[in-house]
Amino acid sequence: MDYIIEMLNITKTFPGIIANDSVNLLVKKGEIHALLGENGAGKSTLMSILFGMYQPDKGEIKINGQPVKIKDPNDANRLGIGMVHQHFKLVGNFSVLENIVLGAEDTKMGVLQLKEAREKVMELSTQYRLMVDPDSKIDDITVGMQQRVEILKMIYRDNDILIFDEPTAVLTPQEIEELIKIMRKLAQEGKSIIFITHKLNEIKQVADRCTILRKGKYIDTVDVSKTTAEEMSEMMVGRKVQLQVSKEDANPGEAVLSVKDLCLKTNKNAQKNKLNNVTFDVKKGEILCIAGIDGNGQTELAYALSGIMPISSGTVTLNGEDISKASIRSRSVKGISHIPQDRHKDGLVLEYSLEENLILQEYFTPKFQKKGLLQFDKIRENATKLIEQFDIRSGQGPITTVRSMSGGNQQKAIIAREITKDPDLLIAVQPTRGLDVGAIEYIHSKIVEQRDNGKAVLLISLELDEVMNLSDRILVIYEGEIVGEFDPKQVDVKELGLYMAGSKKMEVK
Amino acid sequence: MQKKTSNLHAKFNAFVSTEGFKSFASSIMAIIFGLAVGFVMLIFANSKYAFDGLIALLTGGFADGMKSLGNVFYLATPIIMTGLSVGFAFKTGLFNIGGSGQYLVGAFVGIYISATWTFIPSSVLWIVALAGSALAGALWAFVPGLLKATRNVNEVITAIMMNYIGVYLVNHLIPLSPIYDSTRNQTVPPRSYIPRAGLDLIFPDSSISASILIAIACVVIVYIVLNKTTFGYELKACGYNQNAGKYAGINEKKCIILSMVIAGALSGLAGGLAHLANTGKYISVVDVLPQDGFDGIAVALLGLSNPGGIFLAGTFIAYLRQGGFFMQRYGYVTEVINIIIATIIYCSAFSAAFKNILTKIKSKKNNKEQKKVAGEEK
């Protein structure tokens, strides 16, 4: 058999953990090879080794059967390895063409030669059906097109091995379909693709084979067509996982949160409102989900409701009380919990220990302080309880610095803190972002549990699977306006996608 | 028997790997490094007496027994206070470079109150004067704090400007006020001094006073505020991550202002403590920023912003200064002595770098041991 990439018995240790423990990865020429694993399973480490960013402690890498040493990303490039990062590395105010040639420019006497480059780009673009406009600025084009630019960048450099790091995370359903077509086309043309993901249905759709890692160990490489999604997820997590959230029908009561004609500007001189006349209710015992593509006002909505950003006009009512102008602290005390979108920016003090972070919302209550002095025994007790209850894993338990914890466990810490506050309204913004199947399952079950306890849940999510799975009612947000209201049982992902992209709109009242 | 020693060994290992020990060891390493560089400078300045000079520098703090030691504590008091000021601000995410200005206005107000408020009995007047010093320093730091909190102006710039405003304002006010000694162009002596509190019995003939006790009390209070109170929890949370502080409903603007005000009060108090200690210290009307404020930065760095560490660092630097006096015996001029002390302080600021090195060595050792264990298993 001829493999284009052979990574054999790769072992890489970091102080305290074995990130890769004799991992094998064999990729055939022209195949789409999925790399599946939970967070911290060692996918990124393995790819960083292949891309030359880390050196393995043990093991061997062969490209086209030849043993190679990849010392840095330049070596990787020379060997034809290219990577599309999860967060694109493009220059916003450069044109598409300029971005593609950046770093591989042809110059004559120091003058940039773009003409030939343009021809080559256009040729590649038609050959691989990667439609781009070479003269548009990156800032002006859609995320889907930006991704195509990233792919063209790799092909322009004659890379034969393409690594896609979670490429679908930022795309709409329509764009995902497009991407899958492109990947198939690339494979047909003889490119080999490594596809890092944790979304099983995408693997089923596009990949030929799949290598599964778990906790740094190599589990298996399977033929995707002969393996079910359930089997793969079981191999990934190490136990049976429920992919569908099981929940009873919602039993909504009266409204907990009422938002009326809410408008918000990020600064006084902004032309456009970030949120425009947003009106909705969240009722007791329901999960209301706001779906939309990133950057359509979701962040601002969460900030406006929790009080972090002041609103320009409109009212916000919690349990019949007007809280439009209330402070963050008073909203929190009155019963709003907020799982923020960016756990590092807002949700955690990374330099603080786990136990200190677990009291961030309640350190001032009599539970944890007496006459202004922190009650360390109570704080420890609280941490020990939550760590056990929510299965938060860390190196040193309560005294672990949160910075050193994995993303999933950091998120669990936030969720533990916000849920145990026993709120009337739980605002969860992308609560499972970047988390693995096991953690997602757990967090979803906790959110449903909140609903079943009669709490109101406002879920703001970019993941349509999550939206369809969890919600009892869906609102679609587009450019700061609510453009559609749906019952998840009566709508499909494609229809939602049209509303999310702004091509359809309904009057919502 | 063997078990006992291995037990001790394990205990020692556990102690060695604590964060506190690492900090301490790294500071010691930085000091040794600084002394080595200082020694080289001594050779350059006067190679003949370099060794004697170094000995004098290192033993000067004990040269006259308890008297010298008492003077060490006297010299340490103000820089411990300004060190605390800088360290406290550091811990809460701010850089208080305005210690000098705060120190100077603190000193001025302290002397003014102590010299002119004759309606208060002199037995308690020094307390009022010190309170005035702290208030003045707090006010001087309030301005940068307010601007940082409301207008997001970098506190370094505003604090430096406040330093100069402080110097020129004090120089302007002294000649206009009753505390001016026009023949000497300096301030008159205060009327009420900080008491000796019996310390002169332990350290006879030295300049020591209860100032050092007040400084120690401040060290303890700052430690408690930072580590044990909800207030300190809020200040540090905002210092580490302002967004998270805001998200948790902490008034982050108030935190910034209060941090600066407390830091300023500590520096202001430093000025009061230095000038009310009955050692003949005065403010002379010259356009120079007092050194003690900037020394606080070095003290805080060397002490890794930790109150206990700041106490040790301040005492250490004062010890070197005291030793420096004795170097004059070997013909070293004060300028050279100051350069050498400055070099040592400068190198001491590498303690953070040494801490990193220590952590690396430790993890390498661990790796080796792990490998060894793995090898034995095979």
User: In this structure, what CATH number is given to the domain that contains residue B130?
Assistant: 1.10.3470
The DSSP string of A114-155 is HHHHHHHHHHHHHHTT----TTSBGGGS-HHHHHHHHHHHHH
Shortest alpha-carbon distance between residue A402 and chain B (Å)? 13
In the block, residue with structure tokens 């899958």: A180
At residue B95, the pLDDT reads 94
Point out the residue among A308, A349, A373 whose CB comes nearest to the CB of B237.
A349
The number of domains in chain B is: 1
**Nearest C-alpha in B relative to A361:** B248
At residue B118, the pLDDT reads 87
Structure tokens at A455: 């709490």
Shortest alpha-carbon distance between residue B224 and chain A (Å)? 9
Judged against a pLDDT cut of 50, whether residue B216 lies above it is answered with: yes
Partner-chain contact A349 B241, CB within 8 Å: yes
Tens-digit pLDDT profile for residues B60-89: 888 788 888 899 999 999 999 999 999 999
At residue A498, the pLDDT reads 87
The CB density around residue A14, as the number of other CB atoms within 10 Å, is 12
User: What is the helix (H) or strand (E) element at residue A289, kind and residue range?
Assistant: strand A287-291
At residue B368, the pLDDT reads 60
**Nearest C-alpha in A relative to B367:** A15
Which residue, among A302, A260, A263, has the nearest Cα to A279 in the 3D structure? A260
Residues from chain B contacting residue A350 (CB–CB below 8 Å): 240-241
At residue A416, the pLDDT reads 92
Structure tokens at A157: 């450099």
Point out the residue among A306, A349, A364 whose CB comes nearest to the CB of B244.
A349
**Nearest C-alpha in B relative to A366:** B230
d(CA B203, CA B208): 7
Residues from chain A contacting residue B247 (CB–CB below 8 Å): 306, 308, 328, 338, 340, 346-347
At residue A146, the pLDDT reads 87
In the block, residue with structure tokens 């990439």: A5
Q: What is the dihedral of CA A314, A319, A323, A327, to 10 degrees?
A: -140
| Residue B311, in any domain of the structure | yes
A vs B: CB pairs below 8 A: 67
pLDDT grade for B282, boundaries at 50, 70 and 90: confident
Mean pLDDT of the region B35-41: 84
List Cβ neighbours of B48 (8 Å cut-off, separation of 6 or more).
Answer: none
Tens-digit pLDDT profile for residues B94-103: 999 999 999 9
Partner-chain contact B233 A306, CB within 8 Å: no
d(CA A430, CA A293): 12
Judged against a pLDDT cut of 50, whether residue B235 lies above it is answered with: yes
List Cβ neighbours of B99 (8 Å cut-off, separation of 6 or more).
Answer: B82, B85, B86, B263, B267, B270, B292, B293, B294, B296, B297
Structure tokens at B284: 């002379």
Tens-digit pLDDT profile for residues A194-207: 998 877 888 888 99
**Nearest C-alpha in B relative to A338:** B247
Domain membership of residue B233 as a residue range = 63-327
At residue B16, the pLDDT reads 63
Write the ipTM.
0.79
In the block, residue with structure tokens 């955690």: A348
pLDDT grade for B377, boundaries at 50, 70 and 90: very low
Shortest alpha-carbon distance between residue A303 and chain B (Å)? 9
User: What is the helix (H) or strand (E) element at residue A256, kind and residue range?
Assistant: strand A255-264
Mean pLDDT of the region B33-59: 84
Instruction: Please give the CATH number for the structural domain made up of A242-335+425-509.
Output: 3.40.50.300
User: What is the helix (H) or strand (E) element at residue A21, kind and residue range?
Assistant: strand A17-28
Point out the residue among A327, A352, A372 whose CB comes nearest to the CB of B237.
A352
Which residue, among B141, B73, B71, has the nearest Cα to B103 in the 3D structure? B141
At residue B378, the pLDDT reads 39
Chain mean position to CA A112: 38
Taking the CA of residue A475 as centre, how many other CA atoms within 13 Å lie in the half-sphere pointing to its CB? 25
Judged against a pLDDT cut of 60, whether residue B2 lies above it is answered with: no
The CB density around residue B58, as the number of other CB atoms within 10 Å, is 14
The residue with greater pLDDT, A270 or B342, is: B342
d(CA A439, CA A501): 29
Alpha helices in chain B (DSSP H): 2-16, 19-45, 50-59, 66-91, 99-116, 122-151, 155-176, 199-202, 211-228, 230-240, 242-247, 252-275, 291-302, 307-327, 334-348, 351-377
Partner-chain contact B363 A360, CB within 8 Å: no
User: What is the helix (H) or strand (E) element at residue A439, kind and residue range?
Assistant: helix A437-452
Which residue, among B126, B156, B151, has the nearest Cα to B141 in the 3D structure? B156
d(CA A88, CA B155): 35
Same topology, domains A3-237 and A242-335+425-509? Answer is: yes
pLDDT grade for B376, boundaries at 50, 70 and 90: very low
d(CA A24, CA A211): 9
Do residues A195 and A187 touch, judged by C-beta distance below 8 A? Answer: no
Residues from chain B contacting residue A347 (CB–CB below 8 Å): 244, 247
3-class secondary structure for A450-478? HHHCCCEEEEEECCHHHHHHHCCEEEEEE
Which residue, among B304, B288, B356, has the nearest Cα to B84 in the 3D structure? B304
Least confident of B185-194, B248-257, B291-300: B185-194
Partner-chain contact A374 B229, CB within 8 Å: yes
Shortest alpha-carbon distance between residue A9 and chain B (Å)? 18
Which residue, among A85, A170, A95, A99, has the nearest Cα to A140 in the 3D structure? A95
| Residue B353, in any domain of the structure | no
**Nearest C-alpha in B relative to A356:** B233
At residue A117, the pLDDT reads 86
| Residue B11, in any domain of the structure | no
| Residue B157, in any domain of the structure | yes
Mean pLDDT of the region B149-170: 94
Domain A3-237 CATH (choose: 3.30.342.10, 3.40.50.300, 3.20.20.100, 1.10.1750.10): 3.40.50.300
Which residue, among A54, A2, A1, A46, has the nearest Cα to A24 in the 3D structure? A46
Which residue, among B131, B273, B268, has the nearest Cα to B195 in the 3D structure? B273
Shortest alpha-carbon distance between residue A29 and chain B (Å)? 37
Tens-digit pLDDT profile for residues B186-201: 888 888 888 888 888 8
Point out the residue among A308, A364, A369 whose CB comes nearest to the CB of B246.
A308
A343 DSSP β-pair partners: none
**Which residue of B234, B247, B255, B305 is the best one to mutate when testing the A interface, meaning the one whose CB has the most A CBs within 10 A?**
B247
- Segments making up each domain of chain A, as ranges: 3-237, 242-335+425-509, 349-422
Which residue, among B267, B287, B270, B254, has the nearest Cα to B99 in the 3D structure? B267
At residue B234, the pLDDT reads 95
Residues from chain B contacting residue A338 (CB–CB below 8 Å): 247
**Nearest C-alpha in A relative to B366:** A15
d(CA A125, CA A153): 11
Residues from chain A contacting residue B233 (CB–CB below 8 Å): 356, 363, 374
Q: How far is the first Cα of chain B from the last one, in angstroms, to the nearest whole number?
A: 30
Structure tokens at A106: 């042809």
Tens-digit pLDDT profile for residues B99-146: 999 999 999 999 999 999 989 888 899 999 999 999 999 999 999 999
Alpha helices in A51-199 (DSSP H): 73-78, 96-101, 114-127, 143-156, 173-188
**Nearest C-alpha in B relative to A373:** B229
At residue B8, the pLDDT reads 66
**Nearest C-alpha in B relative to A308:** B247
At residue B38, the pLDDT reads 82
Residues from chain B contacting residue A351 (CB–CB below 8 Å): 240-241
Structure tokens at A276: 């425009």
Partner-chain contact B240 A351, CB within 8 Å: yes
A5 DSSP β-pair partners: A27, A63
Alpha helices in A312-436 (DSSP H): 328-334, 354-357, 376-390, 407-420
Residues from chain B contacting residue A363 (CB–CB below 8 Å): 230, 233-234
Write b or e for each residue in A404-425: b if 16 or more Cβ atoms lie within 10 A of its Cβ, otherwise e.
ebbbbbbbbbbbbbbbbbebbb
Shortest alpha-carbon distance between residue A439 and chain B (Å)? 23
Q: What is the pLDDT along chain A (509 residues), one digit of tens a residue?
A: 578 999 999 998 877 678 888 899 999 988 999 998 877 678 888 888 998 888 898 899 999 888 999 888 888 888 899 888 777 888 888 889 888 888 777 777 778 788 888 888 888 888 887 888 888 888 888 777 888 898 888 888 888 899 988 887 767 777 888 888 888 988 988 889 999 887 788 888 899 999 998 888 899 999 988 988 888 888 888 877 766 677 777 788 889 999 999 998 877 777 778 898 999 999 999 999 999 887 788 889 999 999 999 998 999 999 999 999 999 999 999 999 999 988 888 999 999 999 999 999 999 999 999 999 999 999 999 999 999 988 888 878 899 899 888 777 888 999 999 999 989 999 999 888 767 777 788 889 889 999 999 999 999 998 888 888 889 999 999 988 999 999 988 888 888 888 888 888 887 65
At residue A44, the pLDDT reads 81
